[in-house]
Amino acid sequence: MTLPREVRLVEMSPRDGLQNEAGPLIATDIKTELINRLGDSGLGHIEAASFVSPRWVPQMGDAAEVMAGIRRRPDVRHAALTPNLKGFENALAAGVNEVAVFAAASESFSRHNINCSIADSLARFYPVMEAAREHDIPVRGYVSTVLGCPYEGDIDPQQVARVAGELADMGCHEISLGDTIGTGTPLKAKRMLAAVTQKVRVERLAAHFHDTYGQALANLFAVLEEGVSVIDASVAGLGGCPYAQGASGNVATEDVLYLLDGLGIRTGVNLDSLAATGDWISRQLERPNGSKTGQALGATRQGAADG
């Protein structure tokens, strides 16, 4: 068994974590404080915002203000989603370090999420790629529904590979494979990865697993064994997807970090500091902390404080 020596964690909570939050709009200063705290705990790659239509995703409507309000630092890459050229131009003006385009392996999910077919979405990304190249902005590509679709059920790994391959060919430096509704299991994840790596080298792939069925850590271990070394996660397990009913958050960053620390895999992230941020944001949003590790460390801290 070979596991990577180092993993880059890509923090999703400010975007994937907050985009679906029900209730009133989350204040911009809570988002900026979250992003600053995440950077302070050693995370070097943070998806900070989303330049999508505010009519589709109201919680991301203050993306420009968020970017303007955060503390920029040379050791943190602040990224944002951009579904089209308009989103890219707004993201560029806001000073992001990286943008991401997002496609799906399922036609129905593509239509629900971005209102067009897979082919149309890919065609729409070419001008984004060109503009990004002109401005020297790296582009990440997402493929959603790689291990199952809320509308179509099982997804053919070859279809995932086709979409991932086209994103890589058009110039995305990294392809993040999204188990949008968390229905994957480890062997399924390995089979999907085996198909994708026929088109895209494993060094260019990231795992983006939601934890709806509690399988995300097992699935991550399975793909770590196959050489994946970039993992998307969200502190306190925040999040969901507005166009995938019942989808829960990304796997909790604290839980992933506890696993990686236990395996002796370097990340550069401090678990105590990260767990404190998970507690803090859960209190701000008045919701239970979705990280098991976060809960355990919180209980340990409380126990110590109680004497």
Q: What is the dihedral of CA 158, 160, 76, 28, to 10 degrees?
A: -170
Please give the Cα distance from 252 to 269 (Å, whole number): 14
Task: Report if residue 47 touches Mg ion, rule: CB under 5 A.
Answer: no
Task: Report if residue 241 touches ligand HMG, rule: CB under 6 A.
Answer: yes
Nearest approach, Cβ of residue 242 and Mg ion (Å): 10
Determine contact, residues 257/238, Cβ cutoff 8 Å. Answer: no
| Token pair for 121 | 């979405």
Strands (E), the chain: 8-11, 45-50, 77-81, 98-104, 139-144, 174-179, 205-209, 230-233
Task: Report if residue 16 touches Mg ion, rule: CB under 5 A.
Answer: yes
Among 115, 117, 245, 300, binds ligand HMG (CB under 6 A): 115
Task: Report if residue 56 touches ligand HMG, rule: CB under 6 A.
Answer: yes
Q: Which residues contact 59 (CB under 8 A, 6 or more apart)?
A: 18, 19, 20, 21, 25, 26
- Reply yes or no on whether 116 is catalytic: no
Among 10, 26, 33, 51, binds ligand HMG (CB under 6 A): 51
Task: Report if residue 16 touches ligand HMG, rule: CB under 6 A.
Answer: yes
| Token pair for 253 | 């960053």
Nearest approach, Cβ of residue 142 and Mg ion (Å): 8
**3-class state of residue 262 by DSSP:** helix
Residue closer to ligand HMG (CB basis): 57 or 259: 57
Among 13, 32, 41, 50, binds ligand HMG (CB under 6 A): 50
The DSSP secondary-structure symbol of 236 reads G
Nearest approach, Cβ of residue 299 and ligand HMG (Å): 30
Task: Report if residue 86 touches ligand HMG, rule: CB under 6 A.
Answer: yes
Strands (E), 75-130: 77-81, 98-104
Could you give the string, one character per residue 91-110, with x where binding to ligand HMG holds by CB under 6 A and - elsewhere?
Answer: -----------x--------
Determine contact, residues 212/245, Cβ cutoff 8 Å. Answer: no
Could you give the string, one character per residue 245-284, with x where binding to ligand HMG holds by CB under 6 A and - elsewhere?
Answer: ----------------------------------------
Count Cβ atoms below 10 Å from residue 172 Cβ, excluding itself.
25
Residues 184 to 213 in contact with ligand HMG, rule: CB under 6 A:
208, 210
Give the residues lining the site for ligand HMG (CB under 6 A).
16, 19, 50-53, 56-57, 81, 83-84, 86-87, 102, 113-115, 142, 144, 178, 180, 208, 210, 241-243
Supply the residues annotated as catalytic: 241
Note the residues at the interface with Mg ion (CB under 5 A).
Answer: 16
